[in-house]
Amino acid sequence: MTEQEPDLVQNPYSTLTTKEGWRAFVDEHAEPPPPLPSGTVLDADEAESYKEARIDYHTRSVVVATPTIRKVVTTGRKRILLNRHQLSARRGLIVSGSSGTGKTTAITQLGKNVEQLARRSSAGTVPALPVVFVTVPPGATPKMLAGEFARFLGIPLPHRMSQVEITNAVCDLLARLGTTLVLVDEIHNLDLTTRNGAEASDQLKYLSERIAATFVLAGLSVETSSLFQGTRGQQIAGRYSVVPSKPFNRRSRSDRKQWQALIATMEGALRLDRHRPGTLLALEAYLHERTHGLIGSLSQLVREAAVDAIDTGTEKITKRALDRVELDHTAQQSQPSASSGRRGRRPKAA
C-alpha cells in the first residue's frame, strides 16, 4: 500500500474503483447528526466545532430509497439468485437514464446491500470479495477494460503484460475470491460503432462468461445508444433487462407524493438551529421547477443552502436562500425564462 492510499480510503466516494475504497464505502455507516444544543451556551471553541461538524454532516448526500433504488436492489438480488447455478448466458441488468437521476447511487446501493448480506451469512460461506465495481473509461479498449478490473483488485500491471494475461489474472482471482456481483458504470463509453468500442464490448461479454457473477451495468440513455445495435447489441439486449432511471415528475397525485416524500426526507435530515420544519415541503413545486425533478440537482441545492445557512449564521433555508444557489447546467437549462411569468407564481419567500 502506498503512502497516499490511507488518505484515499478516507474518502471512499472517490475510490469506489479500488477494493479498499469499496470496502470503506460498504463499511461506512451514517454518523448520527450533531445534536442541536438545548439552552446550552457554547464557548468560542465549542461553537466553532459544532459549526464545522454540521457543515461536514451536510456535505454528505442523503441516500433516499427512491423507486429506482428499490427496483434495482430488488431486481438485482433476484438476478443473483437466478444465476446461482447458471454455467453460461447469465442474465444481467442495465440501469439507464439521463444524468443526475441516481443511476450510480442505485447500483452502488445494490452492491452495498449484497455485500452486507454476504458478510452477515455464516463465516464459512462468506466470499472474500462479493462485489466488484469498475467504470468504463472513455475510448475503452479491451486491454483498458481488463485493466480497470485489475486496478480494482490491486493486481500489478507490468508494462509488457498483454490483454490476455491481464484478463486471465482477473478471472482467476475473482473465481478464487467468490465474486457474485460485478457493477460496471459509465457503460455508455462503449461505442459499438467504433472498432475499439466493439472489441471492448466483446471483452465485457467474455468477462461475463468467465466470471461466475451477475453483471449490472449503468449508463446514460443506453436504450438509444449503439449498445443495443447490430449483432453484438442483440446479444446484450437478449441477456439484460433495463431499469429506467428517470427524473421525478408531478403529473399525477402519485408522482407528487413521491416527490414530496423525497423532499420531506431531505428536510428531515437537516440540522439547522432556526429552520422551520415544512418550509421545503411547502416549496415543493418551486423545487421541482428549479431542479427539473433531478435528484442529484435537488441534493446539491438543499445541501449547499444548508451549508450557506450555517456559514452565514442564518441557520435556516428560505426560498431566497435557495434562489442564490447556482445549480448544474442541466438543471439551469431546464428553467423557464423570467419573462414567462412562472416565477411570479412561486411561493413567497419564507
Contacts of 63 (CB under 8 A, 6+ apart): 69, 105, 109
Cβ distance 79 to 180 under 8 Å?
no
pTM of this structure: 0.84
Rounded distance, CA 34 to CA 195, Å?
Answer: 53
- pLDDT for the residue numbered 2: 40
- pLDDT for the residue numbered 130: 94
- pLDDT for the residue numbered 197: 87
Percent of all residues in the chain with a pLDDT value above 70, rounded to a whole number: 85
* Residues listed for the chain: 350
Q: Please provide the distance, in angstroms rounded to a whole number, between the alpha carbons at the two ends of the chain.
A: 52
- pLDDT for the residue numbered 348: 46
| Three-state SS sequence of 230-266 | HHHHHHHHHHEEEEEECCCCCCCHHHHHHHHHHHHHH
Cβ distance 115 to 82 under 8 Å?
no
Rounded distance, CA 109 to CA 69, Å?
Answer: 7
**Within 10 Å of residue 302's Cβ, how many Cβ atoms?**
24
Strands 92-97 and 214-220 come out as: parallel
- pLDDT for the residue numbered 229: 72
- pLDDT for the residue numbered 331: 58
| C-alpha cell belonging to residue 169 | 489474472
- pLDDT for the residue numbered 60: 86
- pLDDT for the residue numbered 37: 65
Cβ distance 152 to 133 under 8 Å?
yes
What backbone phi and psi angles, to 5 degrees, belong to 201? -65, -40
- pLDDT for the residue numbered 127: 66
Percent of all residues in the chain with a pLDDT value above 90, rounded to a whole number: 61
- Res 126 pLDDT > 70: no
- pLDDT for the residue numbered 286: 96
More confident residue, 344 or 60: 60
Rounded distance, CA 306 to CA 54, Å?
Answer: 9
What backbone phi and psi angles, to 5 degrees, belong to 297? -70, -40
Cβ distance 349 to 318 under 8 Å?
yes
- pLDDT for the residue numbered 304: 96
- Res 122 pLDDT > 90: no
Chain CA centroid to CA 155, Å:
25
Rounded distance, CA 156 to CA 232, Å?
Answer: 31
At 125, the pLDDT band (50, 70, 90 cuts) reads low
At 292, the pLDDT band (50, 70, 90 cuts) reads very high
Beta-ladder partners of 92: 240
- pLDDT for the residue numbered 308: 96
Delineate the domains of the chain, giving CATH numbers in brackets: 67-245 (3.40.50.300), 250-345 (no CATH)
Q: What is the pLDDT of residues 127-154, one digit of tens each?
A: 689 999 999 999 999 999 999 999 999 9
What integer is the mean pLDDT of 317-334?
81
In one-letter notation, the amino acid at residue 221 is S
In one-letter notation, the amino acid at residue 253 is R
In one-letter notation, the amino acid at residue 344 is G
Rounded distance, CA 302 to CA 298, Å?
Answer: 6
At 124, the pLDDT band (50, 70, 90 cuts) reads low
Q: What is the pLDDT of residues 15-68, one digit of tens each?
A: 899 999 999 999 887 676 677 666 677 788 888 888 898 999 998 888 899 999
Q: Which residue has the cell 468467465?
A: 210
Q: What is the pLDDT of residues 208-231, one digit of tens each?
A: 999 999 999 999 988 877 777 777
More confident residue, 235 or 43: 43
Q: Residue 214 is inside which H or E element, if any?
A: strand 214-220
- Res 313 pLDDT > 50: yes
At 335, the pLDDT band (50, 70, 90 cuts) reads low
Q: What is the pLDDT of residues 151-201, one digit of tens each?
A: 999 999 888 899 999 999 999 999 999 999 999 999 999 888 889 988 998
- pLDDT for the residue numbered 39: 67
Cβ distance 152 to 162 under 8 Å?
no
Please give the C-alpha separations between residue 325 and each of 111, 278, 300, 317, 336, in angstroms, as whole numbers.
Answer: 33, 20, 9, 11, 16
Q: What is the pLDDT of residues 3-27, one digit of tens each?
A: 333 343 445 445 899 999 999 999 8
